[in-house]
Structure 1
Amino acid sequence: MDRPYKVGATINDCYEVRRIIGSGSFGIVYLCKDLRTNDNLVVKQLRPSKQRFKSEIKLFENEIYILRKLDNEYMPRLYEAFLREGSYFYVMTFIDGYDLDEQLFSKKKSFSESESLLFLLQLLELVEYLHERDIYHQDLRIPNILLKINHPYLIDFGLARQVDSTSSSNKNKSLILELKQQDYFDLGDILLFLLYSTYPSKNKKALPWTEELSLNRGTVHLLKRLLKIERPYSNTKEISADLHTAIMAVNS
């Protein structure tokens, strides 16, 4: 039932499959050539086995809804969405970049403390762009970050949520803070991955990062707040202030 389209097959009479980029439990992602323009585009298909469930269709439609809201050069842009032969699809720009997860673990790319903080600053700008539009990614992980000319591109909005910030109810405010802080926590987790890229593991027994990594005081403070070890951040401006302080201290 979930057999993917073969290389050379055509989707919706105009998207020729070049290769399968990814195949997860939720969807199948293809690199395709638009036969009308010869452009490379990405086509995502909701797995046919998931189409039996209204909740899965709703998630797929929510991802399309979120992508329609984006207009940022470091995020994918939606071209169209369609239903074909009972299957759900959408088409977006192809970002010709490198998976950060693969770069760190297979290619052994390393980031110094300064480079890690500067990279986080670029990521924070993307998160701030989303939060200003009441969008919360909720799945900020290294496999969902692509590197292109040393700049991060953010992908995979399958778990993203949009919540109206104009509502004054306490429940709504609490939900928004929770969603924000989940994205902030994920930024802290990503920063740890970057910082560990230059860590020479000598201990047979894993130790907490506070003991393993030798970091500037400002970087430690930033991490502890992102990871909710100390008072968590409530907005990106607070993070940006501490991040700039840490960058200045490391580079001084």
Structure 2
Amino acid sequence: MWRNQLSEKHFDQEVQRYIAAQQNFSFVKLLGFGSYGRTYLIEEKSTKKLFVLKCLRLKHRRHQKTKSKFMQEIEILQRLSMPSIPSIQSTGTIQDIPFFIMDYINGQTFEQLIFDEGQTFTISQSLFITKQLLQQIVVLHENSIVHRDLRIPNILFANQQLHIIDFGLATFKKNVDFSLIDNPKQAENHISDLYFVGHFLLFLLYSSYKPSTSKEKPWQEELALPNDITNFLERLLWIQKPFNSSMEALQLLPIKK
């Protein structure tokens, strides 16, 4: 493990050297890393505009399947043209490690808003935010793309707008028989994204929940939601018959004033 960590630190230095050799960019800092990718913040010298350089993690450089998945992420982002999703500016390699440079979105994730900032959302606000998210998901699905990782760390709020980030697990949508799906999170169709939307909505609703007892109960009992919202959530979460599409979910979303 120590040698792997050292290698990644060495690669961080390689990235800094690469950026330093570019006339139009300067290196700012390491942003973070996940299972497959590593991200860095860089700045365009002439405009002071910030961008993100994302590269495949060094430990995956000889894993062709993971490398292909990373290249698919690039292909997916290049296919999309949505203001709510980062645009790719350029691609390349650093010591045979593929990377791409994309727009930096300066906002806060819903994980930060809820758990760091302590922000709470009413039922009405939660449904309105979910509507915005579903509208974006409908566009993804119309482009035959499924995100498959719509967790609260991957949904940003910036300039009064929702943004979806991290397409590392995204795939091209397939026609999948519902009866053959074992894990809705990994489904290569709309089921996966709607399942994550269900959990996203639950996080929003729980943000204002104050337990009256230490005994944990099912969310249906703890939140005591109106029946139409409970039914909507249960369809998202595969407890009841799932929606046939993200558009159907959007059209049937209960709106509370």
Same fold (TM > 0.5): yes
Q: 1:201 to 1:164 in 2, by over 3 A?
A: closer
| TM-score, normalising length: structure 2 | 0.87
| 8 Å Cα contact 2:132-2:162 kept in structure 1 | yes
- Helix, strand or coil at the partner of 2:252: helix
CA deviation profile, 1:67-95 (whole Å, cap 9, x unmatched): 10110000110111101222221100010
Q: Give the Cα–Cα distance (whole angstroms) in 1 for the partners of residues 174 and 191 of structure 2.
A: 16
Q: Give the Cα–Cα distance (whole angstroms) in 2 for the partners of residues 24 and 48 of structure 1.
A: 12
Q: 1:198 to 1:164 in 2, by over 3 A?
A: closer
Determine if the alignment matches structure 1 residue 203 to structure 2 residue 210.
no
In terms of mean alpha carbon deviation, does 117-126 or 80-89 score higher? 80-89
Determine if the alignment matches structure 1 residue 54 to structure 2 residue 56.
no
Cα drift, residue 211 of structure 1: 0.4
1:89 maps to 99
| TM-score, normalising length: structure 1 | 0.89
2:18 maps to 11
| 8 Å Cα contact 2:141-2:173 kept in structure 1 | no
1:45 maps to 55
Please point out which of 133, 140, 153 is paired with 2:163: 153
Cα drift, residue 221 of structure 1: 1.3
2:241 maps to 231
Matched AA of 2:8: D
Equivalent pairs, count: 243
Q: What is the percent sequence identity of the aligned residues? A: 32
| 8 Å Cα contact 1:27-1:44 kept in structure 2 | yes
Please point out which of 73, 91, 102 is paired with 1:63: 73
Q: 1:199 to 1:237 in 2, by over 3 A?
A: same
- Helix, strand or coil at the partner of 2:42: strand
| 8 Å Cα contact 1:42-1:91 kept in structure 2 | yes
- The within-5 A match list for 1:178-217 is 179-217=189-227
Q: 1:171 to 1:225 in 2, by over 3 A?
A: closer
2:126 maps to 116
Matched AA of 2:34: G
Q: Give the Cα–Cα distance (whole angstroms) in 1 for the partners of residues 172 and 80 of structure 2.
A: 12
Indicate the RMSD between aligned Cα atoms, in angstroms. Answer: 2.4
Matched AA of 1:5: D
Q: Give the Cα–Cα distance (whole angstroms) in 1 for the partners of residues 68 and 17 of structure 2.
A: 26
| 8 Å Cα contact 1:80-1:92 kept in structure 2 | yes
